Amino acid sequence: MSADLGPAETKRRKRRSVWELALLTVAMFGFGFAMVPLYNALCELTGLNGRDKGMQIVASVQEQPDLNREVTVQFLTVVNGGREWVFKPAVSEMKVHPGQLYTVNFVAENQLDQDVVGQAVPAVTPGKAARHLKKTECFCFNQQPFKAREAKDMPVRFMLDPELPADVHTVTLSYTFFDVTELAQRSAKPNG
Question: Rounded distance, CA 73 to CA 134, Å?
Answer: 13
The model's pTM is 0.68
54 pLDDT tier (thresholds 50, 70, 90): very low
pLDDT at 52 over 50: no
Strand ranges in 91-168 using DSSP code E only, listed in sequence order: 93-96, 102-110, 116-125, 133-138, 144-146, 151-160
Which residues does 141 contact at the CB level (< 8 Å), separation at least 6?
Answer: 57, 135
pLDDT at 50 over 50: no
What percent of the chain is modeled with pLDDT above 70? 80
Could you read off the pLDDT of 96-147 as tens digits, one per residue?
999 999 999 999 999 999 999 999 989 999 988 988 998 888 888 889 999 9
